[in-house]
Amino acid sequence: MMNPFGSITLLTLIPLVGGLVVAALPAGQKTLARRLGLGVSLLALAVAGALWSGFDRDSTALQYVERRAWVPTLAVEYFVGVDGMGLLMVMLAALLVPLALLVSWRIEERVPLYFALVLWLEAGLFGAFTALNFFHWFLFWELSLIPAFFLVRLWGGPDRGSAATQFFIYTMAGSVGLLLAFLALFLATGKFDFLELADLGRTHQTAALLHAHLGWSGMSADALAQAVFFGAFLGFAVKVPVLPFHTWLPSTYAAAPTGTTMLLTGALSKMGVYGFLRILLPIFPDQMRAWETPLLGLAVLTIVCSAAAAFAQRDVKRMLAYSSVNHLGYCLLGMFAALRVTGEEARWAVEKAAALNGVLLQMFNHGLTAAMLFGFVALIERRAGGLRGLDDFGGLRKPAPVLAGLMGVAAFGSLGLPGLNGFVGEFLIFKGTFALAPWVAALSTAGLLITAVFLLTFLERVFHGPLPARWAAFPDLSRAEIWMVAPATALMFVLGIYPQLVIGVIHRTVLLWVERLGPC
């Protein structure tokens, strides 16, 4: 669908320009900065909602496409558009940013700059989820990292300096790998267009072109293609993150202001999985299949080891940080399982479609539930003077039953309780993976068990048991806070009962992926 009105450009410009306006406000205009920042984010949400409403669910073609020559001699175009996955990620970002701004409402230092950086981060997310030319996409990929760094560095907790530095080093290392990989692809193919590069990957031409134009003495075409693949893999593996590239995440999530942590876990981490699906899988299918067994092993390690690490934590934000890695591991599991070489029977296509539908559902659902859990932690911290340890509380259900109930909904959604949003995605991932890679799926179920243990332990330690005297007057949620979290909580129930709301948008995209992957 061509887009003469520039809807995607408008969507991206709203937070970009809005951030400039907010940043230009005097430091003393705190209330105006908050209200203007929230208003801009709600306007972006309205535009994203219009895109969602107008999306043709029966089409496999890219929609809302805008394509203009930019630097023709370098094959650089302004090329944007969305399929079901792109639209889903745009909607996720648009939903989370207003919520993160509301959670950050009481920030008092450099308020205009804080709200401007969040809006610029949103613009980076929109650009990265809609760009289809590497040069254009890479600009927005980096744009999303810069505001995140400053949000952690300027407003974070006691360890913010080291956490921000670690975040910057890891993400820049990944970005360098991506840049080098795509420069190699450009020198070999003369293309930056993701769709054209995917066509070369699907027709098995990538390795031969790399060898013909960049061949090094004694290095085979397959070895060269794998080296380029690993450069790109590094960038996305750090972003997800995949074990062992995860060590930046717990300290960054724990040190960041909670509104920023909500965006890091809810939206930025999805950029890594998005990159796997949009870029690595279509452009390097042969290389991914060659490393399928080690990749599945990394997925299992990411699921099980991060769940075990979460169980060992006593700081609630660090526990939820490791839990985030665990849940994204399920996305990797379903994606890598869909690479399996199978027969041509229709049942294999069904299982791959189930796994990939589950991956996209998990991306959205985890973004929602993880952001909500961190938001509730912020509400507890605010009432407890900054305390957030498992052993700092107990019995809070008595003075704060609404807080306990609503946070329990988010926790059980994260756990995958039937009837809530987290269940359907995990079920589809395991349904497809058990058929395609049964032993891998069986090993990964240990992560489900450990997740249940540490989340139930968290709820028991914080909300149940004897109530310490110091928390006897612990405030429950105010009416304004209830209204703040109610829409996301309602969405958890809606998606748990009617997942077709999302599946209807993504299913045609998934079927196209399965067709292009083929049986081998």
Instruction: Output the CA angle 363-369-372, nearest 5 degrees.
Output: 135
Position 519 scores a pLDDT of 65
CA gap 465, 458 in Å, rounded? 12
Q: What is the pTM of this model?
A: 0.94
Query: 195 — phi, psi (to 5°)?
Result: -70, -40
Q: Which of 106, 60, 102, 112 has the alpha carbon at shortest distance from 82? A: 60
Q: pLDDT class for 517, splitting at 50, 70, 90?
A: confident
At 465, the pLDDT band (50, 70, 90 cuts) reads confident
Q: Could you tell me the CA-to-CA distances from 11 to 104, 116, 119, 141, 148 in Å, in that order? A: 23, 16, 12, 16, 20
Q: Which residues contact 62 (CB under 8 A, 6 or more apart)?
A: 1, 81, 82, 83, 132
**Cross-strand bridge partners of residue 76:** 71
Q: What is the pLDDT of residue 307?
A: 93
DSSP per-residue codes, 467-509: --GGGTT-----HHHHHHHHHHHHHHHHHHH-THHHHHHHHHH
Residue 5: which pLDDT band, with cuts at 50, 70 and 90?
low
pLDDT greater than 70 at residue 216: no
pLDDT at 254: 86
pLDDT score, position 4: 47
Quick check: 233 pLDDT over 60? yes
> Please, what is the average pLDDT of the chain?
91
The per-residue pLDDT for range 30-60, each reduced to its tens digit, is 999 999 999 999 999 999 999 999 999 998 8
**pLDDT tens profile 167-212:** 888 888 888 999 999 999 999 998 999 999 999 988 888 888 888 8
Q: How many CB atoms lie within 10 A of CB 4?
A: 6
Q: What is the mean pLDDT of residues 434-457?
A: 92
Q: Please tell me the predicted confidence (pLDDT) of residue 196.
A: 92
Residue 219 has pLDDT above 80, yes or no: no
Q: What percent of the chain has pLDDT over 90?
A: 69
- Token output for 69: 């020559």
Average pLDDT over residues 492-511: 94
217 pLDDT higher than 60: no
- pLDDT class for 508, splitting at 50, 70, 90? very high
For the residues 501-506, what does the mean pLDDT come to? Answer: 94
pLDDT tens, position by position, 388-397: 888 889 899 9
Evaluate if residue 319 carries a pLDDT over 90.
Answer: yes
Interior angle at CA 392, CA 386 and CA 398, nearest 5: 100
| pLDDT at residue 228 greater than cutoff 50 | yes
- What's residue 376's pLDDT? 94
| Highest averaged pLDDT of the listed ranges 57-61, 268-272, 356-360 | 356-360
